[in-house]
Amino acid sequence: MTIKEPRELSHEDKHYAFRRATHGMAGSEQRWQERAERGLTDEELKAALEFELGIYGGSCGPGEMSLTFQAAGLKIWADWNTVAPDVDRKPIFQGTATIRMAREVYGIKDPTKAQMALL
């Protein structure tokens, strides 16, 4: 058994973990594209994330990042070294941080927030 050296998650690692946690269901890529096109309020985005994350789930495997995620609290845990990262670690995303990351990763705008056009 090979033990990996502990390391901090990079921003790219966090993007990777977020995408894997929110792409658990068939057709999710198309759903995220549609959501990005029409925009979602924070409440709508929260509901969409809860749907994609599900009650509780996770994944791991040789050479893969270990993930655990749950809809309650919009929590996502990720680690390169721990099989069940939620047991003893804080989530890398939780609540509004998960919503912000969805906006960043999938380009989902909030239609309630008007921004002046830049000239």
The amino acid at residue 4 is K
Spell out the domain ranges in the chain.
11-106
pLDDT tens per residue, the chain (119 residues)?
Answer: 444 556 789 999 999 999 999 987 677 889 999 999 999 999 999 999 999 999 999 998 888 899 999 999 999 999 988 777 777 789 999 999 999 999 999 999 999 887 655 55
- Asked if 53 and 74 count as a contact pair (C-beta separation under 8 A), the reply is yes
Distance (Å, rounded) from C-alpha 5 to C-alpha 20? 22
Predicted pLDDT at 70: 95
Predicted pLDDT at 114: 73
Which of these, 47, 42, 12, 15, lies nearest to 31 by C-alpha position? 47
The amino acid at residue 18 is F
Residue located via tokens 């960043």: 104
Predicted pLDDT at 2: 47
Predicted pLDDT at 119: 53
Structure tokens at 15: 């993007």
Predicted pLDDT at 61: 86
Predicted pLDDT at 63: 83
Distance (Å, rounded) from C-alpha 41 to C-alpha 28? 19
Distance (Å, rounded) from C-alpha 28 to C-alpha 14? 19
